[in-house]
Amino acid sequence: MNDSPPKHKLNPLIKLALDVGPLVLFFVANARFEIFTATAIFMATVVAALAISYALTRHLAIMPVVSLLIVLVFGSLTIALHDETFIKVKPTIIYLLFAVTLFGGYVFKKPLLAIVFDSAFHLTEEGWRKLTLRWATFFLFMAALNELVWRTQTTQFWLGFKPLVAIPLTLLFAAAQYRLLMRYATDQPNPEAEAEREEVS
């Protein structure tokens, strides 16, 4: 018997605001102040966004929680040591963590990507495996790209890289998976994914 509280789906516009809002405030704060103040504001708004998400849905997906922990650790190091390197490395760490996790799920045949998407859609086992491999490879590419940009370009260039390159690339890649989603779509949820989701929620 499952005694966990019922889960509620966020309105897509609210979800988008909670996902993108902290990043937007980070760039606004950086333009008005400087990167260290912007980092502190970013940390606070990420915490607030996750708290609002929990208040509305009564559950937390594992990946946003992991991302929050990384933001807090590297943001704190950035401010405490007054070294912007830490906040620049943060996306690399998150991308690599996602990639390694998904590759691990692929190797051990665990539908971890189904947990990440939190029942947004259902695929066959083969569909999840192919989508998992694609996203894991994409995250590796993004980690390498972030490293290349922050190590070879100015801080201001790197700050523009996220909204002007990284986010559009991610959206384009996600859109490119539409054919795969349609090909392997199913009305039946993956039982193993549902069980895993209940354990981590």
Residue 185 DSSP one-character state = B
Confidence class for position 200, pLDDT limits 50, 70, 90:
very low
Phi, psi of 23 (to 5 degrees): -65, -40
Whether the CB-CB separation of 38 and 26 falls below 8 Å is answered with yes
Token duo for residue 184: 């392997």
Largest CA distance in the chain: 55
Confidence class for position 87, pLDDT limits 50, 70, 90:
very high
Residue 149's contacts (CB-CB under 8 Å, 6 or more residues apart) are 157, 158, 161
> Where are the alpha helices (H) located in the chain, listed in sequence order?
12-32, 35-57, 62-81, 85-107, 112-116, 125-152, 155-161, 167-176, 178-183, 191-200
pLDDT of residue 91: 93
Whether the CB-CB separation of 135 and 181 falls below 8 Å is answered with no
pLDDT of residue 188: 67
Query: How many whole angstroms separate alpha carbon 186 and alpha carbon 83?
Result: 48
- Structure-token match 């992991």, residue found: 66
**Spans of all domains in the chain:** 12-200
**Phi-psi region at 58: left, alpha or beta (left = phi > 0; alpha = psi -120 to 50):** left
pLDDT mean over 124-151: 95
Closest CA to 49 of 67, 73, 28, 30: 67
Average per-residue pLDDT in the chain? Answer: 85
pLDDT of residue 77: 94
pLDDT of residue 201: 47
Q: Is the pLDDT of residue 154 over 70?
A: yes
For the stretch 9-56, pLDDT in tens is 777 788 878 888 888 899 888 888 889 999 999 999 999 999 998 998
